[in-house]
Amino acid sequence: MTRPTFQIDGKPVTFTEGQTIMEAATAAGVYIPHLCHNPEFEPHGSCKLCTVKVNGRNCSACTFPAADGQEVLNDTAELNELRRTITQMLFVEGNHLCPSCEKSGNCQLQAAAYFLGMTDAHFPFFYPRRELDASHPDILLDRDRCIFCALCVRASRDVDGKNVFAIGGRGIDSRLIVNSPSGRLADTPIAATDKATRVCPVGAILIKRHGFEVPIGERVYDRHTIAEESLEREEP
C-alpha cells in the first residue's frame, strides 16, 4: 500500500498517520528550526520558530498534523526572515549576553541565531528585571535567560512528577514561577538529577559547580550546526 506523502520544499516526505509535520520532516532528515519543541514531550507550539507554510497558510510544524498531498514550504527566504525576527525578539525580551553566559556554545537559542544568520538584535533591549534564584545548593535559576519554552514545566510535571515550575504573566511580564510557598527553588523537591534541570535549551537552569567543564570552542554548537545536531538527536 502506498504510504501517505506530502511535499516539503518540493521533496516528498512519507509519513505515518498521526505524525505532525515536524515529526515526519525530522524522520525524513529535514530540519525545521524550533526551540520549544522536544520530541520527548507533548508539543507546545509557543515559540513559533517552526512556522511553515502549509498550502499557503502559516502553521506551527510541531503541532500541525501531516496530511496526504500537503504542499509545505520550510526553507524559504520569507520564513527564515520571520524566524530571524522571532529570534531577535527572544534576545531583546530577555537579558542575553552570550560572552558571559556559561551556556554559550551549548545554547539552542544562540545556535538558532547563528543558523538563521542573525548578526544583531535589531530591536532595542527591554532589559526586564527578573529575579535570579541561587537558593538551591545544586541548581541555579537565572530567569534573565528564560525564553518561556515550558520544557522545564513539562519535564517536571510529566517526567519528574514534581510540578516545580509554571509560567505566569503575559508578554514582557511573563515569569517562570517556582511552585513553593516561598517561591524559591530551595523549598521545592527538585534535584540536580531531575529531567527538568537537564532540558532547558538556554542558560536559564544551570547545575552549580559544573560551569565551563567543557571549554568554549569544544561545545556542541561549536562543532555542529543546530540543524546537524538536532537531526542527529531527534531522528528516530
Q: What residue ranges bind ligand SF4 (CB under 6 A)?
A: 96-98, 101, 103-104, 107, 109-110, 145-152, 176, 199-200, 202-205
Query: Is 116 in contact with 79 (CB distance < 8 Å)?
Result: no
- Whole-Å CA distances, 140 to 47, 113, 133, 209: 23, 24, 6, 10
CB nearer ligand SF4, residue 23 or residue 105: 105
CB nearer ligand SF4, residue 13 or residue 199: 199
The residue written with cell numbers 516539503 in the block is 8
Beta bridge partners of 207: 139
Beta bridge partners of 57: 54
CB nearer ligand SF4, residue 27 or residue 186: 186
Shortest CB 91 distance to ligand SF4, Å:
7
Query: Is 101 in contact with 51 (CB distance < 8 Å)?
Result: no
Shortest CB 149 distance to ligand SF4, Å:
4
Shortest CB 105 distance to ligand SF4, Å:
8
- Phi, psi (5° rounding) for residue 57? -115, 140
Shortest CB 4 distance to ligand SF4, Å:
33
Query: Is 20 in contact with 34 (CB distance < 8 Å)?
Result: no
CB nearer ligand SF4, residue 151 or residue 190: 151
